[in-house]
Amino acid sequence: MERYLRQPKRKVRPDEHRTVTAGRLREPLSPRRVAVASSPTDALRMISAMLAFPGLHVLPAPAHAVVGWWELLRCHPVTGGDVFDPQIAATMQANRGQRIYIFNTDDFEVFPELTVVTP
């Protein structure tokens, strides 16, 4: 869980913007990612710590991102909790995001529109 609260290894330039989708904020709270679920208080503390990273902005999810999400689901059909990866990809595309830094790179390699990087 601590890996989500670490600052990036390299220094962020003042003109550089880093973004996160709301869906990624739940990442350290996912039973797929952590052994023990956090309490609501701890979860809010972790999310607050992530949002305090310098230069980090939460991407909005505009209405047209839903259309993009549906299109991605048609091209890459998934079920269950896996539907959120195309949602994140669609939100990034709607905001003209091209590069995603993520630990589960395999889930995002199917989207040629994105450059997938392990942090």
Structure confidence by residue, pLDDT tens digits, 64-103: 999 999 999 999 999 888 888 999 999 999 999 888 888 8
Q: Are residues 45 and 66 in the same domain?
A: no
pLDDT reported for residue 27: 59
As to burial, measured by CB atoms within 10 angstroms (0-12 exposed, 13-18 middle, 19+ buried), residue 110 is: middle
Q: Between residues 40 and 12, which one has the greater pLDDT?
A: 40
Nearest to 102 by CA among 86, 118, 87: 118
Please state, in angstroms and rounded to a whole number, the distance separating the CA atoms of residues 96 and 103. 21
Q: Are residues 40 and 85 in the same domain?
A: no
Looking at residue 110, its amino acid is: V
Q: Are residues 7 and 27 in the same domain?
A: yes
Q: Which domain holds residue 37?
A: 1-58
Q: Are residues 34 and 88 in the same domain?
A: no
Question: Does residue 15 register a pLDDT over 70?
Answer: no
